[in-house]
Structure 1
């Protein structure tokens, strides 16, 4: 079913790449599209731009289809931090309002909300909780409790800002249940999807999510410095723009028209010049990969590859964090008996690429890997453990 050739994914010629939760190899079709734009700029500069007028509509159409939303809800941004910074700083908080998040969030989904405390907003951080009865409770990050979140949310709670998938442990939120809870109480649910979009289904309109931000260089296999933002119309109506430029204005290229007349759709966040080579890359990625394969099929293949890895892993020496189906993600984090950073380096010398976070070794295969690669990676883990 899946096209897994080295022609499309040349990284396979040298590496077993199991770190799509970090910085992924760029999809070759995206690289070609970006290079094609740059070559056109070399040859003609301004004179060639009109030939790329369809890039943004293709980008918006593609990601709208991926998230089952409308193109006008989609924005091109440069990073998750930029997207969440615009939302947090533009949100109409009043002193005493509350934001609920998790104590071990990734910095891009922590600092934009933390600085709202200078506006008199209270930031409530859910404590770390261990959902694995078979796994000894430790201080290292694991997950959080939906019951606890529901208890701390009150009449002053305006925003719940949480990652779909926690970058350390791989713990995935039940967004259907969380979205339903927030929608019933008029709370804006804002999701950092850097570790899920491109791997797990994510349907913000159906699930009651106000905003989704995701960097493009992880599961989306896109260029570094490119990201996507979904916002609901209701959320945009609340916000005050904190970044401004000609790109967000209805008058567009009439640069002497200084009226404040911004778009009300997703273009509100595209305030200035975009990196068009990145837009070209994204447009090709969604068309070649995420239109060709359903996100459910991609998720199932990622989980199958994880299960194959686990079937060959020495479970006497390694303790994987195996969450139940509701909280499973593309990240399989493994507790190791030895120095995690040392193990990562030793695996890299065998061309098996993984990463370490919070003492866990993270194994994150994507759909294009072969079974033999995953089995070989597990055997490398076992051989290194046997050598001590």
Structure 2
């Protein structure tokens, strides 16, 4: 795996929950498309006749769903914005979400209040932790329970929109449990999977998820500016079209035919010209990373690398280090690719680590450790030693 990432030559990169290094084979595939485009113009599509269709096929295999349920989008926000704006909300309807959601999964729902809908926010608490020392003050957001969600749900609740993994704490929602809860109450479950797609199993049909939106440049190691949107057929029927263009219509290049004849599968949300070279690259990432290694295999490797860090910390005899570095460890069903660390001054620690060639980021007061397939135990050992000398 390491041969597919040029960053290995310069950095110990542990920020795969942020902007990941672009997977080299994907970069080269995009370059080949751009090169043919530069030489052939529109004739490039004779050589690449169905890039988006092939991408949907790969994404469908990853999510264990039909390719027709997938759409190629620019980012999570675009997907969720089309869904939120097109959903048949009426005055008095309710959307339930978490108070500390990433903006891509907050603002699309907040602006629906102009239609008379109400956005109800789940409050933060420390839930799902393996152990919680009352003497520890959590520096930022943590988690919530199904009971916290249930306390906000009423007969007017139409949507629960939640991140699979919270980008600050790394708390993962039990989507199987939440999906069953929504099914019993006829609520549409919408998931922001930016922090899980490519790192954790995600099976919308098995778990009763109506829609999933995710970016492609985090755990999928794809190019910046591309993402995926999943919608179930029943959910898609509810969504009014809010973005339109030539690519939305079945008549294709018969541009003078203005008959309203839109696609009703995932192409419903691919309304106009897409960045094709990015789609070429993203397909390579999906094929050669989560599909080739299996998504369960990816998850297990990530967790194993996190465990190396936890074990190093547990075994450490350095004076006071266990009080200075506290990992936020969740129960297995709430674990994710992000291991958030409580350290005295995370911004300074992140800066000093970067000076030593180690990349990780700070969000919500936590220093985030996010290893991936190319990460080795030696990388984690190097990170631990550097962090211990920094805090």
1:65, 1:247 → 2: CA distance?
24
Root-mean-square deviation (Å) = 1.1
The correspondence of residues 44-63 of structure 1 with structure 2, limited to 5 A, is 44-63=40-59
Give yes or no for contact 1:244–1:272 (8 Å, CA) kept in 2: yes
- Could you tell me which of 33, 43, 50 is aligned with 1:37? 33
2:241 paired residue number? 241
1:276 paired residue number? 276
1:229 paired residue number? 229
2:229, 2:236 → 1: CA distance?
12
In the alignment, does 2:377 pair up with 1:371?
Answer: yes
In the alignment, does 2:324 pair up with 1:317?
Answer: yes
- Could you tell me which of 55, 67, 80 is aligned with 2:63? 67
- Could you tell me which of 324, 328, 337 is aligned with 2:335? 328
Find the residue that maps to 1:206 and give its secondary structure.
coil
Give yes or no for contact 1:310–1:378 (8 Å, CA) kept in 2: no
- Could you tell me which of 83, 86, 111 is aligned with 2:82? 86
2:139, 2:99 → 1: CA distance?
12
1:367, 1:108 → 2: CA distance?
26
1:86, 1:229 → 2: CA distance?
10
Question: Tell me, which stretches of 5 or more residues in structure 2 are unaligned?
Answer: 314-320
Question: Tell me, which stretches of 5 or more residues in structure 1 are unaligned?
Answer: none
In the alignment, does 2:220 pair up with 1:217?
Answer: no
Find the residue that maps to 2:367 and give its secondary structure.
strand
1:105 paired residue number? 101
1:361 paired residue number? 367
| Cα deviation digits, residues 312-358 of structure 1 (max 9, x gap) | 23423201100110100000001112x21111010000011000011
Tell me by how many angstroms 1:273 deviates: 0.1
Tell me by how many angstroms 1:272 deviates: 0.2
| Cα deviation digits, residues 96-131 of structure 1 (max 9, x gap) | 000000000000000000000111001100000112
Find the residue that maps to 2:191 and give its secondary structure.
strand
Tell me by how many angstroms 1:57 deviates: 2.1
More displaced stretch, 308-317 vs 229-238: 308-317
2:164 paired residue number? 164
2:132 paired residue number? 134
Tell me by how many angstroms 1:138 deviates: 4.1
| Cα deviation digits, residues 123-164 of structure 1 (max 9, x gap) | 100000112351435462001121121222111000000000
The correspondence of residues 142-161 of structure 1 with structure 2, limited to 5 A, is 142-161=142-161
| Cα deviation digits, residues 59-100 of structure 1 (max 9, x gap) | 011110000000000000001000000000000000000000
| Cα deviation digits, residues 292-325 of structure 1 (max 9, x gap) | 1110111000000001022223423201100110
| Cα deviation digits, residues 27-70 of structure 1 (max 9, x gap) | 00110011111101111111222111132222011110000000
Tell me by how many angstroms 1:290 deviates: 2.2
Tell me by how many angstroms 1:383 deviates: 1.2
What is the TM-score with the length of structure 2 in the denominator? 0.95
Give yes or no for contact 1:62–1:287 (8 Å, CA) kept in 2: yes
Find the residue that maps to 1:152 and give its secondary structure.
coil
More displaced stretch, 12-21 vs 193-202: 12-21
Find the residue that maps to 1:316 and give its secondary structure.
helix
1:77, 1:54 → 2: CA distance?
16
1:305 paired residue number? 305
More displaced stretch, 280-289 vs 29-38: 280-289
Give yes or no for contact 1:130–1:137 (8 Å, CA) kept in 2: no
2:45, 2:233 → 1: CA distance?
30
2:33, 2:103 → 1: CA distance?
33
2:137, 2:202 → 1: CA distance?
30
